[in-house]
Structure 1
Amino acid sequence: MTAPSTALVDWSTAAQIARRVARPGPVATRGELDDLVGSLRTAAHDAVPHVLRVTRMRPATGADVERDHHPDGRLRRVRVPRPDLGDVRVVDRATWALANTRSMAAMTAPALAVLGKDASSAGSGAARLAGAAEVGGLLALLSSKVLGQFDPYGEGRPALLLVAPNVLAAEQALRLDRRDFHLWVCLHEQTHALQFAAAPWLADHLAGRLGTLLQDVTTTSMGLAHAPWRDKAALVGRTVLDAVRGELTTPLDQVLGAEQKRVLAEITAVMALLEGHADVMMDAVGRRVVPSVRTIRSRFEKRRDGEGAPRFDAVLRRVLGMDAKLAQYRDGARFVRAVEERAGRDALNAVWAAPEHLPSAREIHDARAWVRRVHG
């Protein structure tokens, strides 16, 4: 007899739903697609030395891009293999959604195992299919909005995923220089790759905090699963109403208790650091590397703000938590710039030394407090 699954979601079905629902993206010829894929791969490769230079960070293990060599006492500069920051995969929307279901399954499995029988009971039959429909639909929606993603939790090695149709749609809609835009996107994502390579404890730390939150939220969700229909409807109604009013910070707000919100705030502060740091560094390479960087940033910020988007899209952004994600970019960028202005880039890089050096939810809004705590 097969043991009952401890998963609350049928991940295989979720991936199939996302694949079927996700829109394919802009139409392009085979030649145009080949050029797009080649350009993105080249940009991902070229971004690495620029990221190393501007961040002043190095992977915890592996070779540097270049170093001094002293044969027979003579000084010369030699090239050595560049650091391995993970694989680069240029994917379509459906493949991005599939990769995310695999990562989500890997990240949730340890937490759900702790829940034991309750998880097995709640994760069977119709409940698992309902979860698959929800996750699959959500990933299908998000799959059209993500340009790139560094995934430290996928199968095998960490990987940088570049979503080709979304990059193509953005460069066309914003009328951007292809070479510059591709490199700009890859500078952001390779900075993420370097963050996890420089702090090899980071992936496990985040997974652990997310696991703690997941256990609590799953327990709450199990209670909601057995709640009267009117209670579920009321929760959905309050969520949508808050989104329309612009008052919803995250879709989880309606189901989190005080302790759960504290853990979420801690995770959010770390995510703000990661996103803000990558945003600052991608622009810091300057116009010598990305000549149209100012134009790209200006037009991309308007896109992020939803300029010209229909009202429904604005509501959808809030329900999906995308506005909260945008706040992370900006809060994190302000923190990074404030630390650098006060103590310098090398002092900022102490944040990658240990989990206790990460900024708290309060410190992400008060860089001086972080500098005082970490550097005295």
Structure 2
Amino acid sequence: MTSLGGVEMVDWKLAVQTATRLVRPGPDVSRDEAREIVAELRRHAKASEEHVRAFTRLAQDGAGAADTPVLVVDRPGWVRANVAGFRELLQPLLGKMEARRAGMPGGAVLGAVGGKVTGVEVGMLLSFLASRVLGQYETFAPATRDLPGSPDGGRLLLVAPNIVHVERELGVEPHDFRLWVCLHEETHRTQFTAVPWLRDHLRMEIQSFLEETDIDPSTLLERLRQAVQTLGGNRQGEPAEHAGEDGGGAAGEHGGIVELVQTPAQREILGRLTAVMSLLEGHADYVMDGVGPQVVPSVSEIREKFQKRRATGAGRLDQALRKLLGLDAKLRQYRDGERFVRAVVDEVGMDGFNRVWTSPNTLPTRAEITKPAEWIARVHRKAD
């Protein structure tokens, strides 16, 4: 990681320590029950490979998923894995900000203090997110001693305590729910192992977005501070309305931290990234429900209850933080992307839909995600 005088913009070690200290404990399970849950999740992840390949008709590239490790982790494990990914992906941006800080009066002192402060604040945000993620395909995850990765950087994470927490909260059949979650995450693994250009395309888009960033370090840190204060204010008994729940404040004005750092060029790149992520998430939702009736008997009940939970969040504070962090946009990605995939498959079949994976030029635009007929006209009818 590029650093200034040995001081990083973010003290990542402190971020991990803070997040693991603050993260909520998982549900109560015995040691034997925990072993059984981990073993079952591993079995479901393995079984999901065949189900997803058969349904999507996507062939693996080379060794493909066989080289992609499946890690069943707890909440601190999820934090450590994501910090490693953040460091890798944000290196160009933080290096740029560190260079700017070097020319500021008192930059070294600011760096020493700012890195610690930001480490704590990033850790607080990670502690919030760590109790909500069920599973994740890490596209750009560097392998570490404790967290192995595939040669090209991918790995699949299943967060066992969160899966158990949600299945209990929803009151659904545990074995069905665990397989259902694995189907979603396995679809993401299939997308990247069957479409070899997709990883590099996403990396290039993200790097272009970061390279266009021109923001004073104190401004970005202030946005992080706003998010932490939202969380901290509620812990101290502050009403959720003061945290942006009513649409005011930082969350209501900007709709997510990412939108605060956009230049015109970034907005264009973000539009393409939003379309791709909507496609990937919507495709995964479509597949998990399409495979579901064959292997998950209670899939209809699970989907109905899970959709309701996803839409409402866990409470008013949760909703406020989702707005500030831009997580509401992610919920729209699931919904809009699934509608796009369903409409295209209904019109041209699964093989016709799979033309979307031909090249970056056949990916849907942001407008086409909400107007699938336009994508069909551009990719199918024009070619035919």
Question: For the superposition of Structure 1 and Structure 2, which TM-score range results when normalised by the shorter chain?
Answer: 0.7 to 0.9
Alignment of 1:135 onto 2:122: yes
Alignment of 1:36 onto 2:37: yes
3-state DSSP of counterpart to 1:9: coil
Q: Distance in 2 between matches of 1:3 and 1:314?
A: 37
The question of whether the paired residues in 2 share the 8 Å contact of 1:4 and 1:120 is answered with no
Alignment of 1:222 onto 2:222: no
- 2:13 aligns with 12
Query: AA paired with 2:83?
Result: T
Q: Deviations over 1:26-72 (max 9, x none)?
A: 11110111111111111111111000011110122238xxxxxxxxx
Q: Distance in 2 between matches of 1:207 and 1:59?
A: 20
Map residues 42-121 of structure 1 onto 2, 5 A cutoff: 42-62=43-63, 83-84=65-66, 86-113=68-95, 117-118=99-100
Q: What displacement does 1:302 show?
A: 0.9
Q: What displacement does 1:322 show?
A: 2.0
3-state DSSP of counterpart to 1:135: helix
Q: CA 1:310/1:152 → structure 2, altered by over 3 Å: closer, same or farther? A: closer
Q: CA 1:116/1:252 → structure 2, altered by over 3 Å: closer, same or farther? A: closer
Q: CA 1:243/1:6 → structure 2, altered by over 3 Å: closer, same or farther? A: farther
List runs of 5+ in structure 1 lacking aligned partners: 64-82
Q: Distance in 2 between matches of 1:350 and 1:147?
A: 30
Q: CA 1:110/1:59 → structure 2, altered by over 3 Å: closer, same or farther? A: farther
Q: What displacement does 1:115 show?
A: 6.3
Q: Distance in 1 between matches of 2:270 and 2:316?
A: 28
Query: AA paired with 2:81?
Result: A
3-state DSSP of counterpart to 1:362: helix
Query: AA paired with 2:163?
Result: V
Query: AA paired with 2:205?
Result: R
- 2:319 aligns with 314
Query: AA paired with 1:50?
Result: H
The question of whether the paired residues in 2 share the 8 Å contact of 1:188 and 1:281 is answered with yes
Alignment of 1:270 onto 2:270: no
Q: What displacement does 1:118 show?
A: 2.1
Q: What displacement does 1:154 show?
A: 1.4
- 1:200 aligns with 196
Q: CA 1:255/1:170 → structure 2, altered by over 3 Å: closer, same or farther? A: same
3-state DSSP of counterpart to 1:149: strand
Q: Distance in 1 between matches of 2:263 and 2:93?
A: 18
Query: AA paired with 2:17?
Result: Q
Q: CA 1:259/1:241 → structure 2, altered by over 3 Å: closer, same or farther? A: farther
Q: Deviations over 1:134-168 (max 9, x none)?
A: 22111110000000001121123221111011001
3-state DSSP of counterpart to 1:245: coil
The question of whether the paired residues in 2 share the 8 Å contact of 1:85 and 1:194 is answered with no
- 1:153 aligns with 140
The question of whether the paired residues in 2 share the 8 Å contact of 1:111 and 1:212 is answered with no
Q: CA 1:116/1:175 → structure 2, altered by over 3 Å: closer, same or farther? A: closer
Q: CA 1:361/1:7 → structure 2, altered by over 3 Å: closer, same or farther? A: farther
The question of whether the paired residues in 2 share the 8 Å contact of 1:213 and 1:264 is answered with yes
Q: What displacement does 1:112 show?
A: 4.2
Q: Deviations over 1:236-288 (max 9, x none)?
A: 99x97765328453222334233322222211111111100000000101422
Q: Distance in 1 between matches of 2:202 and 2:38?
A: 31
Q: Distance in 1 between matches of 2:184 and 2:138?
A: 13
Q: What displacement does 1:367 show?
A: 1.1
Q: What displacement does 1:321 show?
A: 2.1
List runs of 5+ in structure 2 lacking aligned partners: 144-149, 231-240
Alignment: residue pair count? 347
The question of whether the paired residues in 1 share the 8 Å contact of 2:243 and 2:320 is answered with no
Residue 113 (structure 2) aligned to one of 118, 122, 126: 126
The question of whether the paired residues in 1 share the 8 Å contact of 2:212 and 2:263 is answered with no
Residue 293 (structure 1) aligned to one of 292, 299, 324: 299
Q: Distance in 2 between matches of 1:317 and 1:37?
A: 29
Moved more, 129-138 or 161-170: 129-138
The question of whether the paired residues in 2 share the 8 Å contact of 1:112 and 1:119 is answered with no
Q: Distance in 1 between matches of 2:27 and 2:278?
A: 31
Q: Distance in 2 between matches of 1:271 and 1:323?
A: 14
- 2:161 aligns with 165
Identity %: 40
Q: Distance in 2 between matches of 1:40 and 1:27?
A: 18
3-state DSSP of counterpart to 1:288: helix
Q: What displacement does 1:111 show?
A: 4.5
Alignment of 1:187 onto 2:180: no
Q: What displacement does 1:5 show?
A: 4.9
Q: Distance in 2 between matches of 1:221 and 1:360?
A: 31
Q: CA 1:111/1:253 → structure 2, altered by over 3 Å: closer, same or farther? A: closer
Q: Distance in 2 between matches of 1:205 and 1:133?
A: 32
TM-score where L is the length of structure 2: 0.83
The question of whether the paired residues in 2 share the 8 Å contact of 1:113 and 1:119 is answered with no
- 2:146 aligns with none
Q: CA 1:141/1:120 → structure 2, altered by over 3 Å: closer, same or farther? A: farther
TM-score where L is the length of structure 1: 0.84
Higher helix fraction (1 or 2): 2
Q: What displacement does 1:372 show?
A: 2.1
Query: AA paired with 2:296?
Result: V
Q: Deviations over 1:65-104 (max 9, x none)?
A: xxxxxxxxxxxxxxxxxx5261111100011011000001
Moved more, 35-44 or 151-160: 151-160
- 1:358 aligns with 363
Query: AA paired with 1:321?
Result: G
Q: Distance in 1 between matches of 2:15 and 2:247?
A: 30
Query: AA paired with 1:161?
Result: L
Q: Distance in 1 between matches of 2:201 and 2:156?
A: 20
Q: What displacement does 1:331 show?
A: 0.9
RMSD, aligned CA = 2.7
3-state DSSP of counterpart to 1:244: coil
